[in-house]
Amino acid sequence: MITIICSGSRGDFQPYIALAQELKKLGKDVRITASKSFEGFIKSYGIDVFPIEADIESLKVDPKLLKDAGSSDNPLKMLLTFNKMKKYGIYTVTDYYSACEGSELIIFHPGCTIGYFAAQKFGIPSVLASPFPMHKTKEYLSVVMYGKTKSNALTKKISYAMLHGMLWMASKSSVKGFWKKKFGEAPSDFGCPFERHADKKHPAIVSCSNFVFKRPEDWNKNIHQNGYWFTEEPSEYTPPNELAAFLKVGEKPVYIGFGSMTSMDKHEVLVEMVVEAIVKNGKRGIICGMGKPANLPKNIIAIDSIPHSWLFERVSAVCHHGGAGTTAAGFKAGVPSIIVPFSNDQFAWAHRAYDLGVGAKPIPKKELTSDKLAAAIEFALADNIAANARSLGKKIAAENGAMECAKIIVKCLER
């Protein structure tokens, strides 16, 4: 049994579900750790789940802390928020360790380093699986500072130290506390494990297209990046009748949705700005995950959650918060991006879309106005941006990152 240690929101799980799907095709038994709130979602893809008892509700996580996590728009705020969140990790690490018992290989998210130390304890291989490029390189800034500061030798070095420090902070205390309670002392090699994944028994794999961030030449050969990890939907999606009818009439609409970011706070003002921007452009629009506003004009429809892989290919542009998974889905669909980053690595993906010429200049959430959003939509729909987006989409579609990384994992086991 291969066990994938992962946590986070729905979007955080999707790349790991894709990886699990490809491992199953290669004849491997695989399961993913998840709280009860995500168990049904993961199982709908035919993937087994090792249930984690602790979740946001059972832990009674401070709502203000969740809001702060969703609005950490600079590296200092990110560090402070991660430091406050770490106290909740102790409640999940016991279940994660239990999930590792009896496994033949552990795959772990960089925020769940218990996977590395448990694998060491059991004498089995471990694979660091990252949803973004995270290993040190001299070629570009890390995702916590990309687009926010001038790129030079010093800032690059600082940016990776900061990224690793934040991710290590997320699990360091909980792993150490658990280990001392269970074994009487910390692991013998206790320390940040990310750069240790540099041999054939401990490879690292990355979900990112080489056409978005090219694999750095100075990475160790056992760090593998072969493209994004996209899930295969279990069945053909059937849209609600209202949406299907809307898509059939008139030009392709603009999609606007901010994922889990809009669940952290009231967003009436945000909805108003979004509607005003679409009206100012005279475009058709789909707003997602922001409720059902009253008195919407006929050229705008409001929907709930929907598979991005299905919808994004049917719109003219996608406006979102810049989550890594949502950004990847927009790129693959071959449509222009308008990214309104709220926090953390979202700023990096927003700036990268602009730098690649496939999207508008980022508009940080705090600076968003209907006029700025309307201008960004107009910019993104220009012929040259649309052409660049189509070209990038074709290149990304030709990659098969999840399958290539699954093969790396199988080879690791064969050794």
- Does the structure show a pLDDT above 60 at 377? yes
Query: What is the pLDDT averaged over residues 209-216?
Result: 97
Residue 22: closest CA among 316, 179, 231, 298:
231
So what's the pLDDT on residue 266? 54
So what's the pLDDT on residue 64? 52
Residue 128: closest CA among 1, 2, 4:
4
Domains of the chain: 2-228+400-414 (3.40.50.2000), 241-397 (3.40.50.2000)
pLDDT band at 312 (very low <50, low <70, confident <90, very high): very high
CA–chain centroid gap for 2, Å, is 22
pLDDT, one tens digit per residue, over 167-200 is: 898 888 889 988 998 999 998 889 999 998 777 8
3-state secondary structure of 56: helix
Cα 147 to Cα 139: distance, rounded to the nearest angstrom: 14
Calculate the alpha carbon distances from 100 to 34, 190, 397 in Å: 13, 18, 34
pLDDT band at 218 (very low <50, low <70, confident <90, very high): very high
Cα 36 to Cα 19: distance, rounded to the nearest angstrom: 21
| Its pTM surpasses 0.85 | yes
pLDDT, one tens digit per residue, over 32-48 is: 999 888 889 899 999 99
So what's the pLDDT on residue 163? 93
Residue 174: CA atoms inside 13 Å, Cβ hemisphere, count?
26
CB atoms within 10 A of CB 73: 18
